[in-house]
Amino acid sequence: MPRLNQTITRWQGMGLIATTLLGTGVFILPQLTIVAAGNKAIWAWVILLLGILPLTWVFAQLGRRFTHAAGPAYFVERAFGPLASRVIGLLFLFSVPPGAAAALVMTFKFLEPIISLSAEQQLGGELLIFLLLFYINRRGLQLSGRIQMGLTLTILLVVALMLVTTLIQAPITDVTPIMSQSVIVGDYSGLMQAIGLGIWSFLGIEAVTHLAGEFKDVQKDYIPATLTGVLLVGLIYIGCTWLSMWAPEHPLAMVGLFELQFGNSGRWIIGGLGFISGIATINIYFASLSRLAWSFSHDGILPHQLRSLNQYRVPTTALITFILISALMLLLSYLARMNFTLMAHWVNGSFVVVYSASMLAAWKLLDKRCRPAIAISLIACGMFIYCLGSAMLYALLLGLLITMILLGQPLWKQAHPADENLKP
């Protein structure tokens, strides 16, 4: 199999993972978790971060030691064989298009304080974004890494400025009760719901494993880039949740608070950053998705046409194929008037299955010294499954359908040998 272009540095990798996770949720999800859990919302993010960090470390170890464009699917193949690998890989592959559609709908929420769009105009704008992402991705990831590192630092600067301003302007007696009321003993269903919502924000820690082969020095840079990016993101989400508590009635709390502190520019700054960050998240998912499809085409799982590379050594045929599938999912969700949070929960469930399978593979593949982190990661995955509840049915049904198709694939090849002879 030919090699992909190796251009990503440690700082660019940190930018890619950070903006992948910040993405669509950074200025929206904290407010949604407050609606679900009230003052317990901050604890939801703390619990999520504590569960995600060991998961990230294990993924980073797998990506560094078993560098491959197929990412989690390759890890599962090394541990459990080709059938399990193909199920996990295809589950990821066909969960991203509805996730990209939901993410794009969420991204356009940031434009609501800035410009009024009809439903038809928004759909047209979303489809144009998909076209833009194709042109960005076809040149490779070096430019994306630079842009997204700058975007991450800008978001961090804005959130830090808002935190400092809030602490200076608010009396300390007003700040303490917000934190202390978060640990009231009682009904924790809201906390579980908030964790279920928050999982969306950390979808992406596995996506960079598909890109490990494009790091200039994967052995030296990959683990620090991934862990630093995830830790930074977790702290930003905790900070944004605390800040959102100061403007709970505003449709976009972070915009409302920024305008209280700095004037009417909040809707432009927060809205603009949120919109660009959301596009950056979808961009990195299409990048990882195209690499996985390219890898699977070489293994004969997907059509051989997807294996072609352009002059920048980017799998453009795979890229445009899944952008078109995502655009179709977006159109279907528009016609069905589907709630983007429902689609997000479906995608969350699929990714938790991918995470769980990867951690089980890590138990077999990595050194015994890694097992405490793997055990904690599996417990975290179990907690995520419990929090998602019935939303896990989508992942289970999709996984079952994929398994049945794969088991029937040899019978199809036997019945249609001529199709196989057409392959180069």
DSSP for 10-61, please give it.
Answer: HHHHHHHHHHHHHGGGTTTHHHHHHHHHGGGHHHHHHHHHHHHHHHHHHHHH
Q: Would you state the pLDDT for residue 213? A: 66
Supply 301's token pair.
Answer: 């799982």
Q: Phi-psi bin for 263: left (phi > 0), alpha (psi -120 to 50), beta?
A: left
Question: If you average pLDDT over residues 261-287, what whole number do you get?
Answer: 82
Chain mean pLDDT for the chain: 81
- The pLDDT of residue 185 is 40
Is there a contact between 44 and 343 (Cβ–Cβ < 8 Å)? no
Q: Which residues contact 368 (CB under 8 A, 6 or more apart)?
A: none
**151 pLDDT tier (thresholds 50, 70, 90):** confident
Query: In 10 A of CB 343, how many CB atoms?
Result: 21
* CATH of the domain spanning 20-408: 1.20.1740.10
Q: What is the number of H-type helices and E-type strands within the chain?
A: 18, 0
Q: What is the pLDDT of residue 407?
A: 87
Secondary structure (DSSP) of 324-365: HHHHHHHHHHHHTT--HHHHHHHHHHHHHHHHHHHHHHHHHH
Q: Give mean pLDDT, residues 91-119.
A: 86
Q: Provide mean pLDDT across the span 104-116.
A: 86
Per-residue pLDDT band for 401 (boundaries 50, 70, 90) equals very high
Higher local confidence (pLDDT), 256 or 414: 256
pLDDT of amino acid 381: 93
Q: How far apart are CA 179 and CA 166, in angstroms?
A: 14
Q: Which residue has the higher pLDDT, 284 or 259?
A: 259
State yes or no: pLDDT of 388 exceeds 80. yes
Pull the structure tokens for residue 9: 């540095």
pLDDT digits (tens, 9 = 90+) for 183-208: 344 457 788 888 888 888 887 677 66
Q: What is the pLDDT of residue 106?
A: 84
Residue 93 has pLDDT above 70, yes or no: yes
pLDDT score of 172: 40
Whole-structure pTM value: 0.77
Residue 141: per-residue pLDDT:
56
Residue 335 has pLDDT above 70, yes or no: yes
Residue 314 pLDDT: 80
Highest mean pLDDT out of 123-132, 140-149, 267-276, 297-306: 123-132
Which residues have CB under 8 Å from 375's CB, separation 6+? none
DSSP lists the bridge partners of residue 215 as 8
Crossing angle of helices 119-137 and 142-169, rounded to 10°: 130
User: CA–CA separation, 292 vs 301, rounded Å?
Assistant: 11
Whose structure tokens read 């088991």? 407
Q: Which range, of 23-27, 280-284, 323-327, averages the lowest pLDDT? A: 23-27
What SS3 string covers 220-246? HHHHHHHHHHHHHHHHHHHHHHHHHCC
